[in-house]
């Protein structure tokens, strides 16, 4: 399936964004929310966990813009793709937990308390006041490998790529997606990330570190692996350089069910708070 879609094409003003999402933005915590800070993060989260930050009233205009376009696209996509209904279009940011003590790896814009911006590691408590969905692969070795890649890549070399400037023309795992995944695998141990990639956005980063870990393992068995022969599980069957947070969330949510692999689990919801 092809996504003829761009965030840029549906950019709207801050006021219009707020009005459009008045009925869809999360307004309350779920029934089973765990309060998490840097102090107890390692008791709740594991390295490799993929975390989806949800929209709320104090979210940035950019995040509201992302959510608007994701909601519109979900409505359209759901008409022909049952899996599309499983994703949350109000998931506007992605982080990978690497630990310890609340450390994450992310592609981000600088917020209050941050040292810099780009693809780097930061403190979970930067997100205090926000709700997250947490997903975890059932393969613990894969999670550990992806967390290692995330830590190696997230050193500030790559800059932040504004999602509003990225055309989501096709996030299918086609020829380009296979080529990209092979490159990620070959560059899994490259400090600062793939040499030919200078910028990433959040879901791009989150998806690529997992594809890198998977392909790195395949390359260890076959150093001459061809891109076209890469078999990616449904959860990561994406050209991640064109995959919005919603699309990654859609695939991971579906992958918690046997029909789509059953190789991921939904850990639950966490609400980030400050420890002091």
Identify the CA nearest to 204 among candidates 253, 212, 71.
212
pLDDT tens for 191-246 read 999 999 999 999 999 999 999 999 999 999 999 999 999 999 999 999 999 999 98
pLDDT tens for 217-230 read 999 999 999 999 99
Q: What is the reported pLDDT for 235?
A: 97
Residue 254 has pLDDT above 80, yes or no: yes
Helix, strand, coil share (%) of the chain residues, nearest 5: 40, 20, 40
Binning pLDDT at 50, 70 and 90, where does residue 14 land?
A: very low
pLDDT tens for 102-123 read 999 999 986 655 566 689 999 9
User: Which helix (H) or strand (E) segment is 101 a member of?
Assistant: none
Identify the CA nearest to 54 among candidates 106, 104, 89.
89
pTM (2 d.p.) = 0.86
- Tell me how far apart the alpha carbons of residues 247 and 238 are, in angstroms, rounded to a whole number: 8
């Amino acid at each position: 399936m092809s996504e003829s879609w761009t965030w840029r094409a549906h950019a709207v003003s801050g006021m219009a964004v707020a009005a459009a999402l008045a009925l869809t933005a999360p307004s309350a915590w779920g029934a089973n929310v765990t309060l998490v800070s840097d102090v107890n993060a390692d008791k709740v989260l594991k390295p490799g966990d993929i975390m989806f930050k949800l929209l709320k009233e104090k979210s940035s205009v950019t995040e509201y813009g992302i959510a608007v376009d994701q909601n519109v696209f979900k409505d359209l996509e759901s008409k022909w793709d049952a899996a599309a209904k499983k994703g949350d279009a109000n998931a506007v940011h992605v982080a990978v937990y690497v630990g310890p003590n609340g450390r994450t790896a992310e592609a981000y814009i600088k917020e209050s308390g941050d040292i810099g911006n780009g693809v780097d590691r930061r403190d979970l408590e930067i997100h205090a006041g926000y709700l997250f969905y947490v997903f975890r692969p059932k393969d613990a070795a894969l999670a550990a490998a992806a967390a290692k890649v995330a830590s190696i890549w997230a050193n500030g070399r790559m800059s932040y790529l504004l999602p509003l400037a990225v055309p989501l023309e096709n996030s299918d795992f086609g020829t380009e997606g296979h080529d990209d995944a092979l490159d990620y695998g070959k560059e899994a141990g490259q400090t600062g990330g793939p040499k030919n990639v200078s910028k990433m956005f959040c879901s791009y980063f989150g998806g690529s570190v997992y594809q890198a870990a998977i392909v790195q393992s395949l390359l260890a068995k076959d150093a001459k692996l061809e891109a076209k022969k890469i078999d990616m599980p449904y959860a990561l069957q994406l050209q991640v350089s064109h995959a919005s947070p919603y699309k990654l969330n859609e695939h991971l949510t579906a992958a918690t069910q046997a029909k789509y692999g059953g190789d991921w689990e939904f850990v639950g919801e966490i609400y980030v708070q400050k420890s002091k």
